[in-house]
């Protein structure tokens, strides 16, 4: 675990280009899906982040081996003979460890998983994942913090999620790939990372209809039908939003190579209302990227987090940081994680005027933040505190950098290349 801290000072407008790396919340699921077939897999556009290594360690314990080829490429080899057990010391390190559930129960007919860890923002149950597996015929037992699921063969089922949970959709989807018959998942989550997983599964030989919609139809195939595949990870919309927020509070013009407007439409609409200009690099090519231009003070807006295509909860610390220096008052409502306002205290230490109560935060923009020492409570909040430091007078020292490393591929280097006054130093 890194003891470093990030030192950041206000440096004026950012300029230049940043390449947006692949999405953490896709690559970890793609890696877990390699449990589903013997063979070799090549993943490209893989971000260089700590969670990829943690997932690689977990998969190695189960029987899939990961080789870092450099240049954002991972070769993964599944030679069969899997041990469908996710031990506590590995599973507790990341939330995405829960994503081995569907692949292993589908492929091996059994799985034992220590309940996953992840970020500390309140209770994150997996009841919907488990009810979905039970609907497909699995026997599920939870005792002593361990989930055991078993089914010689799963069968197709019609499953309606009571909430479009990302993780539940992914686990039910992967399990359904080997179920006998057809499974329909209604009210499925439709984040771009889920479409990415569906496309990878299809490249492996799965049969899935409705990709990108809220109704996924999976026609089960035999266990030995799936095979290795090559796949480029979808660009990370949360990292893209982070560089937009950095430009928003600093001013300037930055090209976000690879950022997909079609994956972040609602956020772009709201950012434009706040005063940002955001244009495609090439209107004929949605993959070419976006140009963000920021000038003058941001305007406040009200924002509520919602499942995709709404404003993602992962954007919220960035939005709150932008509102902290905007002109006016903005009300932010969190609809996914009640505890996800912990970073507010850290922003207050920087001089932000925010009142948070339950699901709501009232953010009264101030002209100026003041740099000081702050602690990152989780990945997204850590990045937001770095962005706040770009807008603060004096020096901001962000501790808890290991959280940022879990989801950001060289945040410091990328911001420095855009002209930010930022460095990573050992915590003193």
Q: Catalytic residue positions?
A: 119
* Among 124, 263, 316, 349, interactor with ligand EPU by CB under 6 A: 124
Binding to ligand EPU by residue 161, rule CB under 6 A?
no
Binding to ligand EPU by residue 195, rule CB under 6 A?
no
Min separation Cβ 66 and ligand EPU, Å: 18
Q: Rounded to whole angstroms, how far apart are CA atoms 289 and 279?
A: 9
- Give the CA count within 13 Å in the CB-facing half-sphere of 59: 29
Q: Which residues in the 319-348 window bind ligand EPU by CB under 6 A? A: 336-337
Binding to ligand EPU by residue 214, rule CB under 6 A?
no
Binding to ligand EPU by residue 376, rule CB under 6 A?
no
Number of residues that bind ligand EPU (CB under 6 A): 26
CA distance to 53, 56, 92, 149, 170, per residue, from 146 (Å): 23, 21, 11, 10, 20
From residue 231 to residue 270, the character string flagging contacts with ligand EPU as x (rule: CB under 6 A) and all else as - is: ----------------------------------------
Instruction: State how far Cα 357 lies from the chain centre.
Output: 25
Min separation Cβ 194 and ligand EPU, Å: 9
Min separation Cβ 192 and ligand EPU, Å: 11
178 within 8 A of 218, measured Cβ to Cβ: no
Pick 128 or 391: Cβ nearer ligand EPU: 128
Query: Which SS3 state, helix, strand or coil, does residue 77 take?
Result: strand
Pick 4 or 196: Cβ nearer ligand EPU: 196
Binding to ligand EPU by residue 125, rule CB under 6 A?
yes
Pick 325 or 347: Cβ nearer ligand EPU: 347
From residue 76 to residue 115, the character string flagging contacts with ligand EPU as x (rule: CB under 6 A) and all else as - is: -------------------xx-------------------
Q: Rounded to whole angstroms, how far apart are CA atoms 204 and 33?
A: 9
Pick 4 or 334: Cβ nearer ligand EPU: 334
Host H or E run for residue 74: strand 73-78
Pick 95 or 270: Cβ nearer ligand EPU: 95
Q: How far apart are the first and last CA of the chain?
A: 15
Instruction: State how far Cα 121 lies from the chain centre.
Output: 15
Binding to ligand EPU by residue 316, rule CB under 6 A?
no
248 within 8 A of 13, measured Cβ to Cβ: no
* Among 35, 54, 55, 168, interactor with ligand EPU by CB under 6 A: 168
From residue 41 to residue 80, the character string flagging contacts with ligand EPU as x (rule: CB under 6 A) and all else as - is: ----------------------------------------
Q: Rounded to whole angstroms, how far apart are CA atoms 159 and 360?
A: 32
Pick 95 or 190: Cβ nearer ligand EPU: 95
Pick 123 or 284: Cβ nearer ligand EPU: 123
CA distance to 154, 248, 320, 363, 389, per residue, from 350 (Å): 53, 18, 13, 13, 8
What is the CB neighbour count within 10 angstroms for residue 97? 26
Pairing of strands 353-357, 329-333: unpaired
Residues in the chain: 428
189 within 8 A of 144, measured Cβ to Cβ: no
What is the CB neighbour count within 10 angstroms for residue 288? 17
Q: Rounded to whole angstroms, how far apart are CA atoms 150 and 54?
A: 25
Binding to ligand EPU by residue 313, rule CB under 6 A?
yes
Q: Which residues bind ligand EPU (CB under 6 A)?
A: 24-25, 28, 95-96, 119, 124-129, 163, 165-168, 189, 312-314, 336-337, 379-380, 407
């Amino acid at each position: 675990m890194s003891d470093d801290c990030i030192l950041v000072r206000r440096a004026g407008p950012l300029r230049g280009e940043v390449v947006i790396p692949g999405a953490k919340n896709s690559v970890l699921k793609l890696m877990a899906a390699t449990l589903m077939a013997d063979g070799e897999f090549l993943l490209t556009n893989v971000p260089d982040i700590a969670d990829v290594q943690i997932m690689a360690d977990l998969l190695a314990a189960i029987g899939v081996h990961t080789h870092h080829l450099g240049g954002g490429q991972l070769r993964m080899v599944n030679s069969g003979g899997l041990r469908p057990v996710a031990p506590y010391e590995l599973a507790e390190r990341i939330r995405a460890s829960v994503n081995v559930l569907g692949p292993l129960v589908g492929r091996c007919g059994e799985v034992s998983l220590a309940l996953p860890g992840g970020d500390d923002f309140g209770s994150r149950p997996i009841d919907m994942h488990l009810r979905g597996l039970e609907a497909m015929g699995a026997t599920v037992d939870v005792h002593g913090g361990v989930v055991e699921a078993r089914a010689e063969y799963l069968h197709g089922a019609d499953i309606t999620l009571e909430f479009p949970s990302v993780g539940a959709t992914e686990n039910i989807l992967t399990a359904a790939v080997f179920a006998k018959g057809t499974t329909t998942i209604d009210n499925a989550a439709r984040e771009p990372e889920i479409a990415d997983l569906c496309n990878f599964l299809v490249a492996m030989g799965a049969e899935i209809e409705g990709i990108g919609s809220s109704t996924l139809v999976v026609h089960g195939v035999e266990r030995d039908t799936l095979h290795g595949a090559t796949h480029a990870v979808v660009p990370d919309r949360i990292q893209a939003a982070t560089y937009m927020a950095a430009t928003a509070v600093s001013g300037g013009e930055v090209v976000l190579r690879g950022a997909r407007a079609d994956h972040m439409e609602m956020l772009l609409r709201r950012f434009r209302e706040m005063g940002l200009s955001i244009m495609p690099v090439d209107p004929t090519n949605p993959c070419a990227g976006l140009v963000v231009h920021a000038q003058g003070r941001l305007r406040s807006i009200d924002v509520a987090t919602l499942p995709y295509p709404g404003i993602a909860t992962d954007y919220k610390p960035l939005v709150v940081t932008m509102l902290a220096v905007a002109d006016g008052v903005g009300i932010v409502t969190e609809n996914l994680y009640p505890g996800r306002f912990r970073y507010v205290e850290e922003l207050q230490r920087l001089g932000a005027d925010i009142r948070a109560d339950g699901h709501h935060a009232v953010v009264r923009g101030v002209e100026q933040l003041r740099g000081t020492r702050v602690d990152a409570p989780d990945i997204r909040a850590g990045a937001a505190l770095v962005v706040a430091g770009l807008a603060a007078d004096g020096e901001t020292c962000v501790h808890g950098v290991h959280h940022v490393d879990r989801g950001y591929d060289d945040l410091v280097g990328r911001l420095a290349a855009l002209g930010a006054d930022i460095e990573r130093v050992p915590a003193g």
